[in-house]
């Protein structure tokens, strides 16, 4: 019998929600399709009405995660207000906030090994999320002459990598890692040092 809360016609999302719970508990590779079906209160055969298999189900979790992530990043960027620097820093903090608030989605997006190139819908929304950070980077570097301006796609990717590293090492409680500084402070300091090195900020900013 289906679990309480499952309604006919909403099996697809019920399976996504069940998978999110299992990912948060066991990681994206720590459970089977049968376990996801059991958690949703249906038979394994019912899963195949909506998903080609376990990877397809996790890809949908990741796609929904990227949708949330892109929205969070767009909200943080706030059309570049109140300043290009403040908006850029806000997107970094939003990355940390997303990882904390949506751990199941985060793991499906970044730890499941799902290839973006094999899923057009997933690739499109992931590109939307990356595009927000690239837009923030482009706004921050507009004052630099084009011949000396670093590619926005390059330094936005570096900031993404820095944000991801702070999340993995210090914001998710990884064993053996500790910092006397909050993750947000680590990231903000790192962004400042990096941007000054590129000449995007004056030394006293």
Q: Each residue of 171-203: pLDDT tens digit? A: 766 545 667 788 888 888 998 888 888 877 755
pLDDT at 85: 87
pLDDT at 16: 95
User: Which domains are seen in the chain, by residue range?
Assistant: 1-51 (1.10.10.60), 54-197 (1.10.357.10)
Give the separation between CA 66 and CA 108, rounded to whole angstroms.
10
Give the separation between CA 201 and CA 162, rounded to whole angstroms.
18
Q: Which of 69, 87, 82, 98 is nearest to 136 (CA)?
A: 87
Q: pTM to 2 decimals?
A: 0.85
Inter-residue contact 27 to 111 (CB < 8 Å): yes
Average of per-residue pLDDT across 7-20:
84
């Amino acid at each position: 019998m289906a679990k309480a809360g499952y309604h006919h016609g909403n099996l697809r999302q019920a399976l996504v929600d069940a998978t999110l719970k299992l990912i948060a508990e066991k990681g994206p590779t720590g459970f089977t399709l049968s376990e996801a079906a059991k958690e949703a209160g249906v038979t394994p055969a019912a899963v195949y009405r909506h998903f080609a298999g376990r990877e397809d189900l996790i890809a949908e979790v990741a796609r929904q995660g990227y949708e949330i992530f892109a929205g969070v990043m767009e909200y943080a960027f706030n059309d570049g207000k109140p300043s290009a620097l403040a908006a850029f820093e806000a997107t970094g903090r939003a990355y940390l906030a997303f990882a904390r608030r949506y751990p199941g989605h985060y793991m499906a997006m970044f730890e499941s090994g799902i290839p973006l190139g094999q899923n057009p819908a997933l690739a499109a929304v992931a590109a939307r999320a990356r595009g927000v950070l690239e837009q923030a980077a482009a706004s921050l570097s507009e004052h630099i002459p084009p011949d000396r301006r670093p590619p926005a796609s390059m330094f936005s990717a570096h900031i993404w990598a820095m944000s991801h590293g702070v999340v993995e090492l210090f914001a998710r409680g990884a064993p053996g890692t500790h910092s006397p500084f909050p993750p947000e402070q680590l990231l903000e300091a790192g962004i400042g040092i990096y941007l000054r090195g590129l000449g995007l900020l004056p030394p006293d900013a």
